[in-house]
Every structure is written in structure tokens, then in C-alpha cells.
Amino acid sequence: MRKRVTKFVLNKIDKELNKLESNNDHSEHNTETSSNPQYNYERQNYSDNYWNYNNGYSGQYRDTQPYYNYHHNWQQGHNEDSSSYQNTEITHNICTDNLIEIQPTNVHTSTINSKPVNTQHTTYCDKKQAAKVQFHYIFSSNSSTNSFFTTGQPQPQQIQRTELVNNEKDVNTCTYETLNILDFNCKNILTCGPFFKETESDVDIFLLQEHWLFDCQLPLLNEINDKFTGVGKAVDTLDPIPPIQMPRGYGGTAILWKKELDTLITPLTIGNERIQGIEISGEPNLIILSVYLPCKGTSDHIDEFQDCIALLNEIVCTYKLTHQIIIGGDLNEDIINGPSSQRKASFTEFMEDHSLETKFTGSTFIHSNGHDTTAIDYFLYQNSYKHSVLEIKKLDIGANVSDHYPIKMVLQHRRYLIQQKSMNDFFKTKD
């Protein structure tokens, strides 16, 4: 039925346009000696959201927005520049012969403020307004097939009414999602297949340290679990070791994420081989860093430790005004209960400079004698975003063969949803 009505309407439009063109050509021939032809139009004003009809249905309406003329006889020789329509108001007259009557309804606007909650839901972004607008296009007709375009008073017969609805899915909306982030020093990722299998349903993002892969082996990160993909850095990333000369693996950082998050995540090339970062799009965008700081086993460990702190300081300074930042990793330093040291002082100063906080979850390193000894694995987050950190806790996973406990952060993250709808979704026809 819709196709037949559409075809019928288009045919009638073509016929009427042809008639108008022939009439205008004749009119121009008779008035070509006239030096100042008058063209008066009435200009729109949607600020009042209504139409006023004079007797004889000579439509008048007003508009403070730029005027766009759709009449096919509009002459570009008009003396006024198009920019003059930006801030001025001009009145014109509209010829209503062969006019289709358009009757817009009132426009209702409402403001909905979003509030963070602990469960996933969809809401409007802060200070966003959503208007539900309904347009009713009424085509009037009488018994004559040539009177589809009516003149004078509209006929009572109504062919069809089509309603256009702007609902909350037609504008940019926000969804609050819960991201489960697991920080884990895995001590050789090739032995952690059962660990990833046990935790895959409860974790969205893995922050890994000591994966023990060299640069040529990093593609293996995408083969650990078929539900996850990721990026990483190896100890030889800046100077790759040939495969035939690879020693026993050590070090390295990586981040793995669920494949359904792939469109939201951008890997970053910031930092050195001890720092791996990604960016997650949202409101605000989120920077997540996996960090493996130097241990105390070398003579220059303090200088190397401070070099890493300097890189972290540079990264945080770059992003802290526009992004939410989460840092997780093996710091190789007990920054809460450990003894005073130059390393601890450097890291504490870094946290104070950027208003970073953490939460003590207990000892995370297991000594070779089987006892928990010290807390060196942490999550760091900005004080201004602490309300989005729902939980940080240490996990005891049966499939864990590392000498570190994993720690888990539950983070509330907000991101935009842009719904794309087909025309059939926009238009709902009522009989």
C-alpha cells in the first residue's frame, strides 16, 4: 500500500511541476520588458513552532535560521547576499496554489540528567536534551484524480498519516559498563593456558607482566585464548634478538582484552619495554597501563627504576586532563608497608604529584617457601575518578602456577552509544 501511494504521489508531483514550469515560461515571456520583477516570499521562523494560515491558505511562517529557497524560479540576481539571512529577519509571501498541507504538532523537549549506578543501563549523557518530535503529513484529496494538490479549503478525506518519532535511540546516549580488569605477573604466559580458561568469563582485560616472550614471539599473545586478543612488548623490542639466539625468556609486559571490545581499544606506543598502554574510547576516554618496574637484583636498579618513574610521569602529564588513567602492574616495591627507601620515596612522590591512589589488598608475592611475604602488585587510579572504582581485591585462582597473586579491579566506565537505524525504524505508519 505504501509503495502504491508513494508512486501515485511522485507521478502527481511530476505532472504539477511540468505545469508550473510551462506556466512560468509563459509568464516570463510576457513580463520580460519589466525591469523590476517582484518576488515576495514569507520567511520561516521555527522559534514559535507553528504555522499561521491566512484566508485562501496563503501560508505565512517565520524563521530566525538561514533562509533556504527551494523554489525553482529563485533568481540569484537578488540584491541581498546569502550571508545576510544569518541574523536578519525578512518576510516573504508564498503562493499556495498546488500546496500540500503540512501540519506539524507541538515539539516537546525534556532534559534527562544521567546518574552513575552500579548496574549496566542506558541513559542520556549529562546535560543532553532529547526532543520527541512528531510530524503528521496529511494528504487531502477529492473525488477528482487531478485535485490531489488541493486549493482553497482542505478536503475532509484523509489518505494516510505518517508519524516520525525521535526516540532516545536516535541521539547519542551513554551506557555505563562494568569493566573487570585483572593485573597478573604470570611468570611465563605459555604455562598459563588453564589460568586464562578459568578466568575468561570473569575478566574483560588482562594486564600482564613477565610473559617471557621475545619480540619475535609476541604474536603468540593472540593464541593464548580464542576469546582474547592483545598487544605487548618484550625485553628485546628495541633491539630484537634473532630467533636462533634466543635465551630463556624473561620480562615483558602485555595487555589482552576480549575481542568484542576490539572496536573501542587503540594500542599505544608510549613508554619503554616495561610499559604497555592502550586507550579505550568513552566519556572520558580511558588510558590503561601495564607496568613492570625493575627489581633490586642489579647494581643500577635505582637509576632504572627512576627512569621508569620519569616515563610514567610524562605519560600521566600528557593525558590526565583529558583521560581517566588506570595503572596496574608489578612495582617490585611495597609502596604501603615497605621500609623507607629511595625507590619508595620516588614512587610516593610520583603518586602525590598526580593525586593517585591505591588500595592495599594484602601480600601478593609468594616466597619460595610457600608463604606470602610482601605486597608489590597494585592498581593506581586518580583521586578524581575514585567513585568509578567499585572494587579492588586479591584473587586465589586454583589454576595459578605463578608466584604472584592476581588482583582484580571492577571499574565503572561510561561510553557513548550511537544507534544507527534504518528508514523503516524511523517511520511508523498508522492506519
CA distance 413 to 357: 18
Grid cell at residue 200: 575468561
Using a 10 angstrom Cβ sphere, with 0-12 exposed, 13-18 middle and 19 or more buried, the burial of residue 155 is: middle
277: which residues sit within 8 A by CB, 6+ positions away?
255, 267, 268, 270, 271, 287, 288, 289, 290, 315
Stated as kind and residue range, the H or E segment containing 372 is strand 372-374
Stated as kind and residue range, the H or E segment containing 27 is helix 2-30
Question: Of 380, 384, 412, 391, which is closest to residue 207 (Cα–Cα)?
Answer: 380
CA distance 272 to 232: 11
Q: What are phi and psi of 182, to 5 degrees?
A: -115, 120
Instruction: Look at strands 323-330 and 285-292 and give their pairing.
Output: parallel
Measured distance between the N- and C-terminal CA atoms of the chain, rounded to whole angstroms: 11
pLDDT for the residue 183: 98
Q: Are 347 and 333 in contact (CB under 8 A)?
A: yes
Q: Where in the chain is the domain with CATH 3.60.10.10?
A: 176-417
Per-residue pLDDT reduced to its tens digit, 142-191: 444 444 444 444 444 443 433 433 444 344 577 888 999 999 999 999 99
pLDDT for the residue 29: 56
pLDDT for the residue 342: 95
Q: Are 286 and 323 in contact (CB under 8 A)?
A: yes
pLDDT for the residue 32: 52
In 320-397, alpha helices (H): 342-353
> What homologous superfamily does CATH list for 176-417?
Endonuclease/exonuclease/phosphatase (3.60.10.10)
How many CB atoms lie under 10 A from the CB of residue 294? 21
Per-residue pLDDT reduced to its tens digit, 39-70: 444 444 444 444 444 444 444 444 444 444 44
Per-residue pLDDT reduced to its tens digit, 223-268: 999 999 999 999 999 999 998 888 999 999 999 999 999 999 999 9
Grid cell at residue 27: 509568464
CA distance 90 to 61: 11
pLDDT for the residue 74: 44
Using a 10 angstrom Cβ sphere, with 0-12 exposed, 13-18 middle and 19 or more buried, the burial of residue 317 is: exposed
pLDDT for the residue 329: 98
CA distance 219 to 227: 15
β-strand partners of 266: 279
The pTM score is: 0.60
CA distance 232 to 198: 22
Residue with cell 542520556: 124
pLDDT for the residue 142: 43
Q: Are 235 and 250 in contact (CB under 8 A)?
A: yes
pLDDT for the residue 245: 85
Grid cell at residue 262: 576490539
Which long-range CB contacts under 8 A does 370-373 form with residues at least 24 apart?
372/405
Q: Which residues of the chain have pLDDT under 70?
A: 24-172, 417-431
